[in-house]
Amino acid sequence: MGELSVFDLNQPPVVVTPHALSKTGVALDDVAVTLRSESPRVLAVAGSTLTPLAVGTTTLTAAAGNKEQKIPVRVVRSVTAEALPLEGGHRIYYSLPAGKYEVEVTLLVDKELGVEWRGAPYCSYKGRGRTHRSTCVLQNKGGAVVDNPAYLTTGDTTVTGTGIVIREVP
C-alpha cells in the first residue's frame, strides 16, 4: 500500500485499493488483502474504507496470506481560526484553545519564516525554506503568530491565510 497521507477528521472516509504483490512486484489479483487498525477508536476500517474517528496515531496492518505490512497512520483535525493582522499586516495572529497544534506554511519560494506561540514561548520557530512546520502544546488558551506569507513573498500586507494550515495533532 505504500505510505498513506495524513487523515483529517474534517474530510470524508478514504477508500483504498490494496494489492498483494509478488516478489517481482507483479499484482496478485487472486490474493485477498485484509486491513485492520491497531486503534479502531482512532481509525475505523470497514473493508477497504478507512474512516478517521479521533485525533491520534495508529498502525494500519494490511495482511495477505501469511505476509503483513504495517503502515503508521496519523489522524489530525484541521482548524479554522480567524486570521487577525499584526504589525500592519506583516504578521498574522490565530487564537487557539488549549491543545496540541501544528502550523504548516507553504510559500511559493524559499524564504525565512517565523512562528511565535503565544502562551508557550518555548515553541517558537524560525527557519528558511519553502515549507515550514511548527508544533506546540498550549496548556491554556493561546495562539500562533505567523509571518504573513503574502508580505514575505510580495510585500502585500493583506491578511488572507493563503498557504497556512493549522491542525490539531496527536
Using the predicted structure, report yes or no on whether residue 1 has a pLDDT greater than 70. no
Average pLDDT over every residue of 50-59: 97
Residue 148 banded pLDDT, cuts 50, 70, 90? very high
- What is the predicted pLDDT for the residue at 27? 82
> What is the fold, at CATH topology level, of the domain defined by 80-168?
Jelly Rolls (2.60.120)
The answer on pLDDT for 117 being more than 70 is yes
Where do we find the cell 501544528? Answer: 102
pLDDT tens across 74-113, in order?
Answer: 999 999 999 999 999 999 999 999 999 999 999 999 999 9
| β-strand pairing of 142-147 with 99-118 | antiparallel
The answer to whether residue 11 scores a pLDDT higher than 80 is yes
CATH 2.60.40.1080 occupies which residues in the chain? 7-76
CATH fold of the domain at 7-76: Immunoglobulin-like (2.60.40)
CATH 2.60.120 domain range(s) in the chain: 80-168
79 near 45, Cβ under 8 Å? no
* DSSP letter for each residue of 60-129: EEEEETTEEEEEEEEEEEEE---EEEEGGGTEEEEEE-SEEEEEEEEEEEEEEEEEEEET-GGG-EEEEE
